[in-house]
A = this chain, B = another copy of it.
Amino acid sequence: MLALRAQAATRFKAISSCLTYLRAATHRNVSSKVLTVANMNPNVKRMEYAVRGPIVQKAVKIQDDLNSGKEMPFTEVVRANIGDCHATGQQPLTFIRQVLALCTYPELLDDPRFPEDTKAKAKRILSGCGGNSMGAYTESGGIRVIRQDIAEYISERDGYNSNWENVSLSTGASEAIKSILQILNSPGPNGESTGVMVPIPQYPLYSATMAEYNIQQIDYFLDEANQWSLSTEELQRSYDSAKDKCVPRAIVIINPGNPTGQVLSKQNIADIIKFAHKEKLFILADEVYQHNIWAEDREFHSFKKVLCELGSEYSDVQLASFMTVSKGYMGECGLRGGYVEVVNLDDDVMAMLNKLNSAKLCSNTHGQATMDCVVKPPQPGDPSYELFTKEKDAVLASLRSKAKLVTKTFNSIEGVRCNEVQGAMYCFPNIDIPQRAAEHAKSKGMAPDAFYCFELLEKTGLCVVPGSGFGQREGTHHFRCTLLPPEEQFRAVMKRFEVFHKNFLAEWS
């Protein structure tokens, strides 16, 4: 390596940068390149993913300016654009990180500072790894003991048996969602495209993936006037409007809702399942916020449980439920752990899904191990139980408190209306944007709420995502704001928001 470095240093001096040549040549003759935006995959070109869109780049720029001493009406950018818990100050749970450290470096198993239950879990996970190493590939579906633990968690949660062979670990929930959409994507008998029903507003992973796979997105609208509820009449309208243009094959439900924060009632879920049964739709149940329920009168019901309760008449309804380690109370986004449980898939379809996964080899072992900590947390009497519970409860209590705060604050401001945040990690307030501001935005090629959000960012430091990135009823404007910034910062920015909105209305009315 050293010899290589010395050699390299010499070359550096002797030869001017090849890339400079290459760049210069590029500008002379762009068209000679094989891959250009003109001839690249058109589906990828059509994709949009608002959560990491241009507003985030602007936020980075502003924070850089602040860091280099530029004077602004605020001292820091408040990142409320993405559900990135640890980045906004949430602390990792000790139990999870201790287990992961032990799995990573088993020499620590003799270290007295690690509680016995973390050691027992690490040993159990390592026993499921090839060569007892986190560095071995796992089976395509994940480490078997973890899949078994997940199945047990689901069984206990729902009261209905879950078979571990129907559970696959994935790189976050996103990868599993993409796999299911991919396997469903099949042209109809006359070459019609596959249609998938998605809620509006929706989490843009869905719209992005459908663009990527050239799947027809069939919008159904959540009812903002009724707490973002989901009516089967609207599902029927949406389905009927699309069924002659494509082959509708699936419906996506996000519960608790992202970006809308609603939590579906058991009756509502049963109605959706009956609708899916009638119209022969595969159900994608995005249940990644199952630990994030804030409204006292709501609880989480899984689609699997309600399907089972409906009995054998609905036994042909196929379902995939998604979970992640990125949300809940753990917020381990960077570890990229997730799972999918499929229900009622034929064995030969399961084999195809496994094959699709196997070409990607496996998801990462740390994400898998984290999921094990989530589905099998410490129990009363375990040495880690008390600290785990304390840390978990503190995270959830803070989120709950902010969920109440945002609803209250937004609704106290003229020209802003916000449904109760019943669950998940976001609010999606409806904002009045004066006609003149909307026209100004359009003249600059921007959606009105994108213009609003850029102004908001520049004047208050609050970074949120325009509602147009999630979809909304024509003529309405929203933004998505996470509940994640620390409470003090959050309260302060809410005050700046209030002033901003008032001024914005005054300026553009």
Listed in ascending order, the chain A residues whose CB lies under 8 Å from chain B are: 1-2, 4-5, 7-12, 15, 17-19, 21-26, 29-30, 32-37, 39-42, 44-45, 47-49, 52, 82, 84-92, 97-98, 100-101, 104-105, 108, 129-131, 133-138, 140, 155-161, 163, 171-172, 174-175, 178, 182-186, 204-205, 208-209, 212, 249-250, 280-282, 307-309, 311-312, 315-316, 318, 330-336, 343-346, 348-349, 352, 355-356, 358-367, 377, 379-380
Q: Which one, B15, B349, B364, B379, contacts A334 given CB within 8 A? A: B364
Q: Taking A37-B352, A40-B352, A336-B364 as contacts, is the C-beta distance between A359 and B21 under 8 angstroms?
A: no
Counting every copy of the chain, the complex holds: 2
Residues on B with C-beta less than 8 A from A84 are: 130, 136-137
Residues on B with C-beta less than 8 A from A24 are: 312, 315
Q: Which one, B44, B159, B212, B334, contacts A136 given CB within 8 A? A: B334
A380 pairs with B2, CB closer than 8 A: yes
Q: Which one, B12, B174, B250, B343, contacts A360 given CB within 8 A? A: B174
- 13 new A-B contacts at CB < 8 Å, known A2-B380, A18-B307: A34-B250, A34-B318, A35-B345, A40-B349, A41-B185, A47-B356, A85-B135, A87-B137, A100-B105, A104-B104, A135-B332, A174-B359, A212-B359
Residues on B with C-beta less than 8 A from A44 are: 182-183, 352, 355-356
Residues on B with C-beta less than 8 A from A318 are: 33-35
- By CB atoms of chain B within 10 A, which of A2, A21, A186, A379 has the most? A186
Chain B: minimal CB distance from A140 (Å)? 7
A5 CA to B24 CA, complexed, in Å: 66
A155 CA to B209 CA, complexed, in Å: 35
Residues on B with C-beta less than 8 A from A41 are: 182-186
Residues on B with C-beta less than 8 A from A86 are: 129-131, 133, 135-136
Q: Which one, B22, B47, B100, B331, contacts A343 given CB within 8 A? A: B22
A209 pairs with B35, CB closer than 8 A: no
A249 pairs with B362, CB closer than 8 A: no
B358 pairs with A52, CB closer than 8 A: yes
A307 (CB) vs chain B CBs: closest residue: B18
A188 (CB) vs chain B CBs: closest residue: B39
B4 pairs with A157, CB closer than 8 A: yes
B100 pairs with A183, CB closer than 8 A: no
A158 pairs with B352, CB closer than 8 A: no
A49 pairs with B358, CB closer than 8 A: yes
A344 pairs with B159, CB closer than 8 A: no
5 residue pairs from A and B, CB less than 8 Å apart: A10-B159, A26-B315, A40-B352, A47-B359, A336-B364
Residues on B with C-beta less than 8 A from A178 are: 360
A395 CA to B2 CA, complexed, in Å: 20
A136 CA to B316 CA, complexed, in Å: 40
Residues on B with C-beta less than 8 A from A307 are: 18
A30 CA to B347 CA, complexed, in Å: 11
Chain B: minimal CB distance from A86 (Å)? 4
User: What 3 A-B pairs are tightest by C-beta distance, nearest first?
Assistant: A87-B130, A11-B159, A18-B308
A179 (CB) vs chain B CBs: closest residue: B44
- By CB atoms of chain B within 10 A, which of A30, A36, A140, A330 has the most? A36
Residues on B with C-beta less than 8 A from A182 are: 41, 44
- By CB atoms of chain B within 10 A, which of A23, A42, A52, A362 has the most? A52
- By CB atoms of chain B within 10 A, which of A21, A40, A88, A380 has the most? A40
A49 pairs with B186, CB closer than 8 A: no
Q: Which one, B17, B101, B183, contacts A35 given CB within 8 A? A: B183
Q: Taking A133-B92, A358-B52 as contacts, is the C-beta distance between A36 and B349 under 8 angstroms?
A: yes
Chain B: minimal CB distance from A157 (Å)? 7
A11 (CB) vs chain B CBs: closest residue: B159
B361 pairs with A364, CB closer than 8 A: no
B35 pairs with A282, CB closer than 8 A: yes
B334 pairs with A33, CB closer than 8 A: no
B100 pairs with A280, CB closer than 8 A: no
Chain B: minimal CB distance from A327 (Å)? 11
Residues on B with C-beta less than 8 A from A36 are: 346, 348-349
Residues on B with C-beta less than 8 A from A131 are: 86-90
A23 CA to B350 CA, complexed, in Å: 14
B335 pairs with A135, CB closer than 8 A: yes
A140 (CB) vs chain B CBs: closest residue: B52
A194 (CB) vs chain B CBs: closest residue: B41
Chain B: minimal CB distance from A258 (Å)? 14
Chain B: minimal CB distance from A490 (Å)? 15
Q: Taking A33-B318, A358-B49 as contacts, is the C-beta distance between A155 and B8 under 8 angstroms?
A: yes
A14 (CB) vs chain B CBs: closest residue: B159
Q: Taking A135-B333, A136-B87 as contacts, is the C-beta distance between A160 and B18 under 8 angstroms?
A: yes
Chain B: minimal CB distance from A196 (Å)? 11
